[in-house]
Amino acid sequence: MNTQSKRVWQGAFFLAVAMFIVKILSVLYRIPYQNITGNEGFYVFQQVYPFYGIAVAFAVSGFPVVLSRLLAEGGADAVKRARVISSAASTFFTVGLVCFIVLFTSARAIARLMGDEQLFLPIQATAYLYLTVPVVAVLRGFFQGEESMMQTAYSQIAEQAVRVACIIGLSYYFVAHGADVYSTGAAATFGSTVGSVVSIVLLGFYLLQRRSVRKTKLVFMRPSLKVGWQLLTAGLLLTASSMIMIIFQLSDVFTFGNLLQREGFSLADVQRAKGVFDRAQPLLQLGTVVATSLSLATVPAITIAKQQGDRSRMREICTKSLQLVFMVGLAAGVGLAVIIKPVNVMLFQTTEGSVDLAIMGIAILFFSLFITSTGLLQGLRYSLWPVLGLLGAVAVKIAGNLLLMPALHATGAAIATVCGAAVAAAINILVLQRKTAFMTYGTFHGMRMAFVAGVMALATFAVKEELYTMVSMQHRLSAVVVSITSAVAGAVVFGVGVVLLRVVKLEEMIKREKLMKITSLYKRLKERRN
């Protein structure tokens, strides 16, 4: 592996680790927030969350990636690089300003479309984030174009840590002082802007520390409309396909409450029902962490294979990545469905909505496959196909809500989510198969995987029921013990099963690059001792 390839892999690894930490923090803060503000407060926060999620997608997976590519293509040409940066800055700031103005001035109209006009204040609080996101995107794109991924990784972790601290701290303060759920939600969402400002300060500090920047005179180039349009279109393509769960949430934001109110639900009933339904979001995010991290890591690998014309390597990367994600996603989805009641009590104190959460858990498998296959298609420069798949999936999701929710209510929305996610994953995998021919008979070991998942489900259920003969189902501490013990038992059974049935071969696991590195390090330490 040459030096450039090593730097690409190291950068992808750092970003994957940062994304993993950010995702974990994103999951963890929602639990205390729901516990502090209740189902109604969680409903308010989740109603405006998609607007935050879209902004973050632009600042993380969209514009910085495209900007870094154009900077890398510019090479050492200072004039070209300056023009790219000025074009990026003007384009990103224009987009951010337009989004801010639209959200802030149309907040009441948007809230009415959601079926709850009081949501206008949290929407306005979220709008401020779009003024800071362009700065973050330009700075991260600059560092990634220099193949300096650590700065981006540190800024993501710092931003999320500050954001989480603000959300929990402000929500606790506002609730303690008797504020309503809308004011509390507005304060919590504004914490995202504070985190973004911290990211700007940190990236600015790193920028000033660079000797090349300190010694370079500022050169202002006239922005290029052509470059700006290229940044905008490519950035939107990359961003859209990475936001499937956010877009699905956005679909629920505008349909869930309105459909229930049409069926005779009061606003208070809708708030409670949506707050319970949205308990699924942190579980979905946690379940797709592996897929998200893997998609970041596979993009440079498959890009290099494509540049080298190594079709065999391309097929191998596709096969191994999707096999791993299928295995982890299936285990997570089935396992969560089995232990959803104790998990619900452990995290959210009650068993409300457990059936709907169990159904939503199945979507972990399909979301994971879509996210990973999207990374592979983007690495192969087929960025349009995931967007088309996403559009088809959203159409299925909205149609499912409209058809199923009048009769099944929240359960209908959960089924619609699973169906939409399945469509998205199927489209991506079919396109990937057509472009690379990575699949052969038995690629996913479907029958063996189904058998292992079934055995795991039975074992997990047996452990859970046995534990419940010894402890109370209603106590939170008991739920913690039951959830963790059952999950560990299920994971062990699943792991042993996939090895015994040769779904995963031990010799293949040992040959993995990271295990080889650990073995190499161990040998060097042993040699030093001798």
Render pLDDT for 184-222 as a digit per residue (tens, 0 to 9): 999 999 999 999 999 999 999 988 887 555 444 445 567
Instruction: Say if CB 499 and CB 506 are below 8 A apart.
Output: yes
Amino acid at 320: K
Higher pLDDT: 526 or 415? It is 415
Cα separation, 507 vs 208, in Å, equals: 48
Instruction: Say if CB 281 and CB 46 are below 8 A apart.
Output: yes
Amino acid at 489: A
Cα separation, 319 vs 502, in Å, equals: 16
Is the confidence at residue 399, as pLDDT, over 60? yes
Cα separation, 390 vs 368, in Å, equals: 14
Q: For the segment 433-445, what is each residue's pLDDT rounded down to a tens digit?
A: 888 877 776 566 7
Q: Report H helices in 308-383.
A: 311-338, 340-348, 354-379
How would residue 525 be classed by pLDDT, with cut points 50, 70 and 90? very low
* The two structure tokens encoding residue 362: 């199945």
**For 489-513, what is the mean pLDDT?**
73
Q: Over 184-225, what HEC string results?
A: HHHHHHHHHHHHHHHHHHHHHHHHHHCHHHHCCCCCCCCCCH
**For 243-253, what is the mean pLDDT?**
93
What pLDDT score does 530 carry?
45
What pLDDT score does 3 carry?
56
Report the chain's mean pLDDT, rounded to a whole number.
84
* The two structure tokens encoding residue 143: 């560092």
Segment among 180-189, 273-282, 297-306, 343-352 with least mean pLDDT? 297-306
Residues 6+ apart with CB under 8 A from 198: 158, 159, 162
Segment among 53-57, 160-164, 355-359, 505-509 with least mean pLDDT? 505-509
Cα separation, 235 vs 96, in Å, equals: 13
**For 161-182, what is the mean pLDDT?**
93
**For 466-477, what is the mean pLDDT?**
82
Higher pLDDT: 35 or 66? It is 35
Cα separation, 474 vs 351, in Å, equals: 9
Q: Over 418-442, what HEC string results?
A: HHHHHHHHHHHHHHHHHHHCCCCCC
Segment among 16-25, 34-43, 47-56, 112-121 with least mean pLDDT? 16-25
Q: Is 232 left (phi over 0), alpha (psi -120 to 50) or beta?
A: alpha
Domain ranges of the chain: 1-242
What pLDDT score does 18 carry?
78
Instruction: Say if CB 212 and CB 149 are below 8 A apart.
Output: no
How would residue 74 be classed by pLDDT, with cut points 50, 70 and 90? low
What pLDDT score does 70 carry?
80
Cα separation, 376 vs 383, in Å, equals: 9
Which of 358, 288, 297 has the alpha carbon at shortest distance from 326? 288
Instruction: Say if CB 141 and CB 155 are below 8 A apart.
Output: no
In this structure, is the dihedral angle defined by the CA atoms of residues 414, 417, 422 and 423, taken in order, positive or negative? positive
Radius of gyration of the chain (CA): 24
**For 331-356, what is the mean pLDDT?**
92
Q: For the segment 47-64, what is each residue's pLDDT rounded down to a tens digit?
A: 999 999 898 888 877 788
**For 289-295, what is the mean pLDDT?**
72
Instruction: Say if CB 126 and CB 103 are below 8 A apart.
Output: yes
Q: For the segment 345-393, what is each residue's pLDDT rounded down to a tens digit?
A: 999 988 999 999 999 999 999 999 998 888 888 888 888 899 999 999 9
Cα separation, 453 vs 501, in Å, equals: 12
CB-hemisphere CA count at 13 Å for 174?
21
Is the confidence at residue 1, as pLDDT, over 70? no
Which of 99, 20, 42, 526 has the alpha carbon at shortest distance from 278? 42
In 467-522, DSSP assigns E strands to none
Is the confidence at residue 297, as pLDDT, over 70? no
Cα separation, 365 vs 446, in Å, equals: 13
**For 137-149, what is the mean pLDDT?**
82
Is the confidence at residue 276, as pLDDT, over 90? yes
